[in-house]
Amino acid sequence: MRIRLCTSVIAIITATSSNAQDAAPFDLGTIVLQSIRGTETPVEESTTSVTVVTEDDIKDQATTNTQVGDILGKTVPGFAPSTENLTEYGQPLRGRNFLTLIDGIPQTNTLNNDFRALNGIGLSAIKQIEVIRGTTAAFGFGGAGGLVNIITKKPREGEQFSEVTFGMRFQEEDVGESLSFSASALTSQKIGAFDYLLSLGVEDTGGSFAPTGERRPPDSFGTQGGTDDITSYNLLFKAGYDIDGAQRLEFSANLYDYEQDSDFAGLVSGGSIARNTSATPALGDINTRTPGISNRSFSFKYLNEDIFGGSMDVLVYYNDKTTTFTRTEFFGTVFPQYETESEKVGARVTFNTPVADRVDLVWGLDVIRDETVVNPIDLPVATTPDLTMTGYAPFAQVTYQPSDRLTLTGGLRYEHLDVDIKDFINDANVAIAGGTVKFNEPLWNISASYEVSPALTVFGGYAETFQLGALSRALADSTFATVDEIDGDGQGTESYEIGIRGETGGFRYSVAAFQSDSNAGETYDADLNLVLAPERIRGLELTADYRIDAQWQIGGTVSLIEGEYDTTGDGARDSDLGSDRIPPTKITAYVQYQPDARSSYRLDVLHSGSRDPDSTQFTGLQSIESYTVVDASARFDIGPGQLRIGIDNLFDRDYVPVLQQSFSVEAFGYDDYYYVKAPGRSISVFYSMTF
């Protein structure tokens, strides 16, 4: 191991540029949110906890991480560690599901969550990721844990801009089998009133191996999708036209395909906690259809900067997403393969209207129609019915600044949802008559921030959100005769938060404490039966960044979360939530060294602590062991372009991600399937040229 580690470190050191220049003076600058209340808002003026992952952050992180979930797990407090696979199941935000948008278009499947919302776009097309941590009533139709808004790259002003990137990634355990390739190309230009952007990214990946040498299953149990042996492409096209100085039209299309065709899609077995062996796949393919993701998004946007004394933003969108899951075998039974398809059509109209001195009103209307179908690939009929949700939600948010230091916000969002449920046959082979379930939910929010001094701002607030919860699972498990008997309360969540943040010199920090209460949280008992019960989640988040001098910068985050729920209905929260919902203590840290403007070096550390929940949940029966992972990356300006080198899991740490540990109940023999180790050390090299 020492020889391989030295080789990896030398690969970074020997690539250093010899022409040193003085680094530019450090400036924290102003990071701007584009998703809060439909307006651009500096982070330091926000009345909620937010994290912005910038374009430079994404480029740095993409050197060692392949998925959006990987990046968020290592950069955003409150996000659980990555599952090291395709799904975001088991990677909640503040212990709850979150709502994902791409350029304002909803990606989360609220009717039958496939936990693929973060995987509808390639990293090469992303400019910025904004994360609102905690409930927000400004955006709705789901998202009790918060909001993730993925913002794609935009056309540049001036002359034509083009960028081409080539990359490769491999593991030392088996260079040939793990070898992966990627390429992306982007071009954009503004010509008079017209501008455009075209981006294409392709990727072809090999297999992955545990540090102890075992081949990892292409679809690890419990994660519902892997990143091995896949071919993907992402096409992003944007076009805009400035009608005059105040009006603009925009069109956007995002096409993403992800297919997994593996020679090792056979049965999975061999995992053992006692023997410390990772579950491995067999040769063959038990799938009837090739697993993967197909995501199609189209949108039209109209902007008017001079209407009612303010501005108007109209977004009309269409999204069609199909997720084909893998077939699985469990204790001698091969379970049927299936896929989900969600087709969304919607619109959002937002007005930003000044109503008085220091008083702004943001108001508008959300409309959505979501039709979700479960296709039973290996069965004649599905046990989950076809669902169609029609919803509309008028909203209004008032911001009042009585002084330069104090900002007050408050608002109301009223959600009306009709869910049409077709006749179906449930898991017990009983015919259920369909019908319509209606929900009407007023959702309030209020928050404030006060600048005590330039180095200290206090903020806090209260917000409500609503989501349908595990509706499709409840219907499949149903014992009633008609859907008219279903509980129509849904899942409401009330969230509270208080915190401080500030900046002084080269030091920036934040501390936030939060609590969220739900009337019908989703858990699963030891027999994997769905349980809906009252629950409470509490947590503390800390962030810090410090520029030591012009060359050195350090920082990190701390996330502490706990959650309990009521198993008996007596009003007492008597059981811990499982580790798929409540991750152990998470600590991240980084150190970055930039000796000159042409090169930089960075180390990232992720520590996931231990957890021993007192729980009757399926995912709370197993104790979670701690692990620490270190990544290294470097950037150099060489020749006509930029070279980036990354080493993921630098010290080849042998560990099992939190989600896989939580499923690996040794007493039940589940570790035979679920106990899958994370990939060992991998090395990646990317080269980009702009012209």
Condensed to tens digits (0 to 9), the pLDDT of residues 530-557 reads 888 899 999 999 999 999 999 999 999 9
Asked if residue 43 has pLDDT above 80, the reply is: no
Condensed to tens digits (0 to 9), the pLDDT of residues 207-227 reads 999 999 999 999 877 667 789
Please check whether residue 575 is in contact with residue 620, taking contact to mean a CB–CB distance below 8 angstroms.
Answer: yes
- Burial (CB < 10 A; 0-12, 13-18, 19+), residue 61, is buried
The CA-CA-CA angle for residues 604, 608, 613, to 5°, reads 170
Please check whether residue 264 is in contact with residue 226, taking contact to mean a CB–CB distance below 8 angstroms.
Answer: no
Q: What is the rounded distance in angstroms from the CA atom of residue 321 to the CA atom of residue 341?
A: 6
DSSP letter for 618, please.
G
Mean pLDDT of the 139-151 span: 85
Q: What is the rounded distance in angstroms from the CA atom of residue 222 to the CA atom of residue 83?
A: 9
Q: Which domains does the chain have, with CATH numbers?
A: 2-690 (2.40.170.20)
pLDDT top residue among 324 and 110: 324
Asked if residue 345 has pLDDT above 60, the reply is: yes
Q: What is the rounded distance in angstroms from the CA atom of residue 678 to the CA atom of residue 106?
A: 30
What pTM did the predictor assign? 0.90
Q: What is the rounded distance in angstroms from the CA atom of residue 363 to the CA atom of residue 365?
A: 7
Per-residue pLDDT, 16? 32
Q: What is the rounded distance in angstroms from the CA atom of residue 377 to the CA atom of residue 215?
A: 28
Per-residue pLDDT, 10? 30
- Burial (CB < 10 A; 0-12, 13-18, 19+), residue 234, is buried
Both tokens of 635, joined, read: 């950037």
Mean pLDDT of the 122-133 span: 92
Rg (CA), the chain: 25
Buried b (16+ CB within 10 A) or exposed e, 293-305: bbbbbbbebebbe
Q: What is the rounded distance in angstroms from the CA atom of residue 254 to the CA atom of residue 231?
A: 17
Q: What is the rounded distance in angstroms from the CA atom of residue 623 to the CA atom of residue 614?
A: 9
Residue tagged 């776009």 (tokens): 121
Can you tell me whether residue 175 is helix, strand or coil? helix
- Burial (CB < 10 A; 0-12, 13-18, 19+), residue 218, is buried
Mean pLDDT of the 446-456 span: 93
Condensed to tens digits (0 to 9), the pLDDT of residues 385-440 reads 899 999 999 999 999 999 999 999 999 999 999 999 988 888 778 888 888 889 99
Residue 58: enclosing H or E segment and its boundaries? helix 55-62
Asked if residue 26 has pLDDT above 90, the reply is: no
Please provide the average confidence, as pLDDT, over all residues in the chain: 88
- List of residues 6+ apart from 357 with CB closer than 8 A: none
Can you tell me whether residue 124 is helix, strand or coil? helix
- Burial (CB < 10 A; 0-12, 13-18, 19+), residue 280, is buried
Can you tell me whether residue 3 is helix, strand or coil? helix
Please check whether residue 648 is in contact with residue 27, taking contact to mean a CB–CB distance below 8 angstroms.
Answer: no
